[in-house]
């Protein structure tokens, strides 16, 4: 679906770690999965727990915009990480 670069990392009590991201290409949607890539290596795949534009919840954020992304299980996010968003679809014949 899209790629976003982590520009800043926020540690928020009672919430966890939020990545301040800039969407480089495509889009990031709330129901998507995230593949975290660091130095060309896939570190983890996780699900988005929160997606926000400024203080408002967002369903999707498109290319050229900034957003805050929280992951469900993974908190070791670093500045410069790349988030690749994707959806797994099932096809039946």
- Decide if pLDDT at 24 tops 80: yes
- The pLDDT of 23-43, averaged and rounded, is 93
Q: What is the pLDDT of residues 2-15, one digit of tens each?
A: 999 999 999 988 87
CB 10 within 8 A of CB 61: no
Res 55: pLDDT: 85
d(CA 86, CA 1): 5
4-19: burial string, b at 16+ Cβ within 10 Å, e else: bebeebeeeeeebebb
Tens of pLDDT, residue by residue over 50-93, are 999 988 888 999 999 999 999 999 889 999 999 999 988 888 87
Residue 63 lies in a domain: yes
> Residue 32 is encoded by which pair of tokens?
């998507």
Q: Can you give the CATH number for the domain in which 44 is found?
A: 2.40.30.10
Q: What is the domain extent for residue 20?
A: 2-86
Q: Does the residue 92 lie in any domain? A: no
The answer, yes or no, to whether residue 25 has pLDDT greater than 90, is yes
State the total domains in the chain: 1
Report pLDDT for 69: 93
Q: What local confidence, expressed as pLDDT, does residue 14 receive?
A: 82
User: Average pLDDT in the 24-48 region?
Assistant: 93
Eight-state DSSP code of residue 17: E
Q: In 3D, which of 53, 55, 54 has the Cα closest to residue 27? A: 53
């Amino acid at each position: 679906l899209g790629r976003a670069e982590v520009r800043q990392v926020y540690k928020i009590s009672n919430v966890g770690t939020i990545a301040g991201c800039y969407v480089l290409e495509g889009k990031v949607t709330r129901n998507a999965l995230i593949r975290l890539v660091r130095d060309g290596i896939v570190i983890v795949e996780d699900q988005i727990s929160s997606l926000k534009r400024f203080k408002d919840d967002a369903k999707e954020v498109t290319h050229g915009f900034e957003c805050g992304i929280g992951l469900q299980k993974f908190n070791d996010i670093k500045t410069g990480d790349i988030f690749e968003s994707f959806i797994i679809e099932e096809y039946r014949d």
